[in-house]
Amino acid sequence: MELRQLQIFVTAAQTLNFTKAAMKLGYTQSNITSQVRQLEEELQVKLFERFGKGLRLTSEGKHFHQSAENILEQCEKAKSELTPDIFQGVLTIGAAETLCVNRLPKILLEYRKKYPRIEIRVQTESCYQLFQLLRTNSVDIALALAGNIQQPDMIVRTLYEEAMTVVISPLHPLAQQQKLEPVDLAAECLILTTEGCGYRPVVLAALEHQQVKPGAIMELSSVGAIKECTACGLGIAILPKIAVHDELLRKKLIELNWLGPPLDVKTQLIYHRDKWLSPAIQAFLELCETMGK
């Protein structure tokens, strides 16, 4: 049994797709299939089984997955203890779309200057999905835009308090009144992110507190799509101000003064309580906190 085989198996177990695992690791799909088959022959168990058109882990595969992750983590830990001053390896980050565009690039720029030998992988997901990725050790650390996060198995650190803003098209009938009360949404279409977005519950809770139900709701998974639909006059959006900064400057969107309850949203850094923090991860944590001050 080789460490390379364990890495291939763990990646395949995370993606449940040999093609995606091959792309992630830079191998051919046939190589992935061959290495998994050799591992199964050595262990004399079936690790994967076909489920419809996809793959899933067998019960033996699930048990071995945890063991394989532990072995790889211990190997990485041993290497870092022998060469503590050499920052190398892979850092995998999960992040909300808005943060990938507006917060993360500056952090990564500084990180790359200090630690050029570390390979960085970034995955964009919803807040809910980020928690799942952290629990399966598919990402090392996550950055989410959300209200107060209550997850007992996670360590959560606030980096930025984020202002939320109400935006509409300059051609929208409400553009002239320059303010928006929650009750105004009773006759309007509210354009929202899909379920799983960290700040969606904050917006809906504020409306529920005022006993207001929007006249209609349009859901889009992309913040970019939300901005375009809002600019076309399809409805009203409530988004982090950092996400609409450029559109406000170009007057593609205009901002209304929100007269409803406070919308408490933060950029938060999250990692699993049981995660072993390699030097690469610790360095990223320290840089995030320094830049967030």
Residue 65 has which token pair? 């997955």
CATH 1.10.10.10 location in the chain: 1-79
Question: CA 265 from chain center: how many Å?
Answer: 15
Q: Tell me, what's the pLDDT at 134?
A: 93
Query: The sheet that has 265-272: what strands, in order across it?
Result: 118-124, 89-95, 141-146, 265-272, 154-162
What is the mean pLDDT of the segment spanning 20-34? 88
Q: Tell me, what's the pLDDT at 96?
A: 93
Q: Tell me, what's the pLDDT at 279?
A: 85
Question: Which regions of the chain does DSSP assign to beta strands (E)?
Answer: 48-51, 54-57, 89-95, 118-124, 141-146, 154-162, 164-168, 179-180, 189-193, 216-220, 236-240, 254-258, 265-272
State how far the Cα of 36 lies from the Cα of 25, in Å rounded to an integer.
Answer: 14
State how far the Cα of 279 lies from the Cα of 52, in Å rounded to an integer.
Answer: 41
Q: Render pLDDT for 152-176 as a digit per residue (tens, 0 to 9).
A: 999 999 999 999 999 999 999 888 8
Q: Which residues is 289 bridged to in the sheet?
A: none
More confident residue, 51 or 79: 51
* pLDDT exceeds 90 at position 117: no
Q: How confident is the model at residue 254 (pLDDT cuts 50, 70, 90)?
A: very high
Given phi > 0 = left and psi -120 to 50 = alpha, else beta, which region is 52? left
* pLDDT exceeds 80 at position 78: no
Total Cβ atoms within 10 A of residue 158 = 14
Q: Tell me, what's the pLDDT at 293?
A: 61
Looking at domain 164-262, does it have CATH number 3.30.450.20? no
Give percent above pLDDT 70 in the chain. 97
Q: Name which of 16-30, 147-161, 220-234 the model is least confident about.
A: 16-30
What is the mean pLDDT of the segment spanning 119-145? 92
* pLDDT exceeds 60 at position 3: yes
The β-bridge relationship of strands 265-272 and 154-162 is antiparallel
> Would you call 247 helix, strand, or coil by DSSP?
helix
Q: How far, in Å, are 87, 202, 213 from residue 146 at the CA level? A: 31, 8, 21
Q: How confident is the model at residue 72 (pLDDT cuts 50, 70, 90)?
A: confident
pTM of the model: 0.70
Residue 43 has which token pair? 């262990």
Q: Which long-range contacts (CB under 8 A, 24 or more apart) does 72-75 make?
A: 72/3, 72/6, 72/7, 72/10, 73/276, 75/3
61, exposed or middle or buried, with CB in 10 Å at 0-12, 13-18, 19+?
buried
State how far the Cα of 293 lies from the Cα of 290, in Å rounded to an integer.
Answer: 6
Q: Tell me, what's the pLDDT at 77?
A: 74
Q: How confident is the model at residue 4 (pLDDT cuts 50, 70, 90)?
A: confident
Please check whether residue 219 is in contact with residue 190, taking contact to mean a CB–CB distance below 8 angstroms: no
Q: Tell me, what's the pLDDT at 81?
A: 64
CATH 3.40.190.10 location in the chain: 164-262
The β-bridge relationship of strands 189-193 and 236-240 is parallel
Half-sphere exposure (Cβ direction) of 164: Cα atoms closer than 13 Å: 22
* pLDDT exceeds 90 at position 225: yes
* pLDDT exceeds 70 at position 104: yes
* pLDDT exceeds 90 at position 255: yes
* CATH code of the domain occupying 1-79: 1.10.10.10
Candidates 184, 194, 245; CA nearest to 215 is 184
What is the mean pLDDT of the segment spanning 118-138? 91
Q: Tell me, what's the pLDDT at 103?
A: 92
Please check whether residue 230 is in contact with residue 168, taking contact to mean a CB–CB distance below 8 angstroms: yes
Q: Tell me, what's the pLDDT at 85?
A: 54
* pLDDT exceeds 60 at position 282: yes
Q: Render pLDDT for 8-21 as a digit per residue (tens, 0 to 9).
A: 999 999 888 888 88
